[in-house]
Amino acid sequence: MPINLAKAIGLFINSASTITASFMNFFRGVLDIKFALPLIISIMIATPIGAWMSQYVQKEIVEWILVAFLLVSALLLLFSNREQKVVYDKAWVLYVIGGVVGLISGTIGVGGGSLIMPLLILLGFDAKKAAYAISFVIPFSTLGAFATYLSFVNMDWVLLGVVTIAAIIGGYVGDFIMHYRLTPKQVKKLIAVVLLLLSAKMIYKLLGL
């Protein structure tokens, strides 16, 4: 599959799964929209810029940068016991995080959750609260970047429809498990394991093994 088509589809199914989770979190009363707002504003501005930049950035360089970030984040999440260093009213921290993640996620073609979640946790934010906010934030970035990719990608609409349905089901099941079955510490460790698996898969592909 062409890399830009894969990026566009990945962005859209991220939207589908996180919108599903956000509806559930809103009705449960666990979604802090005020906390998510600075992330939404900055990431909406930055992600389309990153998507446009993707046409001029060498694919392998971007993927190796992502692998390095995933590995470092996973190891820090597994072995760091850092105390909380920030509070939720420091909006400028969230604006900076949203802007940086928006540029990177738009360029790479990922939803941004795998980038922003470890950053928030490593800064001391509660893992579950961060996860609820990210589920709400991601569609604002992914849909904007998806629209940008459509301007230069030939979309496979049948494939997009199939994976979107699967993403909606996965979003419902995953959010239910996180809310009712996992503690914040378990969420943190689970994210680290997922990041390690993603980085291992990318390294395998990049080395042509």
The per-residue pLDDT for 111 is 61
Mean pLDDT check: name the lowest of 167-171, 172-176, 184-188: 184-188
Between residues 114 and 167, the one the model is more confident about: 167
The per-residue pLDDT for range 18-47, each reduced to its tens digit, is: 898 898 988 888 888 888 899 889 988 887
With cut-offs at 50, 70 and 90, classify the pLDDT of residue 168: very high
Task: Note whether 137 and 40 are within 8 A (CB).
Answer: yes
At residue 162, the pLDDT reads 94
- Note down the domain range covering 56: 3-206
Structure confidence at residue 166 (pLDDT): 94
**According to the model, what pLDDT value does residue 165 have?**
95
DSSP H stretches of helix in the chain = 3-28, 33-53, 59-79, 91-108, 113-122, 127-150, 157-181, 184-206
**Taking 60 as the threshold, does the pLDDT of residue 154 lie above it?**
yes
State the pLDDT confidence band at 160, using cuts at 50, 70 and 90: very high
Instruction: Give the Cα separation of 57 and 90 in Å (integer).
Output: 33
Distance from C-alpha of 108 to C-alpha of 111, rounded to nearest angstrom: 9
Residue 161 pLDDT class (50, 70, 90 cuts):
very high
pLDDT at position 82 is: 58
Give mean pLDDT, residues 90-118: 80
Assign 146 a pLDDT band (cuts: 50, 70, 90): confident
Structure tokens at 200: 């291992």
Q: How many domains does the chain have?
A: 1
Query: What is the pLDDT at residue 48?
Result: 82
Question: pLDDT tens digit string along 40-93?
Answer: 899 888 878 887 887 787 767 877 888 888 888 888 888 866 555 555 557 888
Q: What is the mean pLDDT of the segment spanning 181-202?
A: 87
Q: How far apart are CA 40 and CA 32, in angstroms?
A: 12
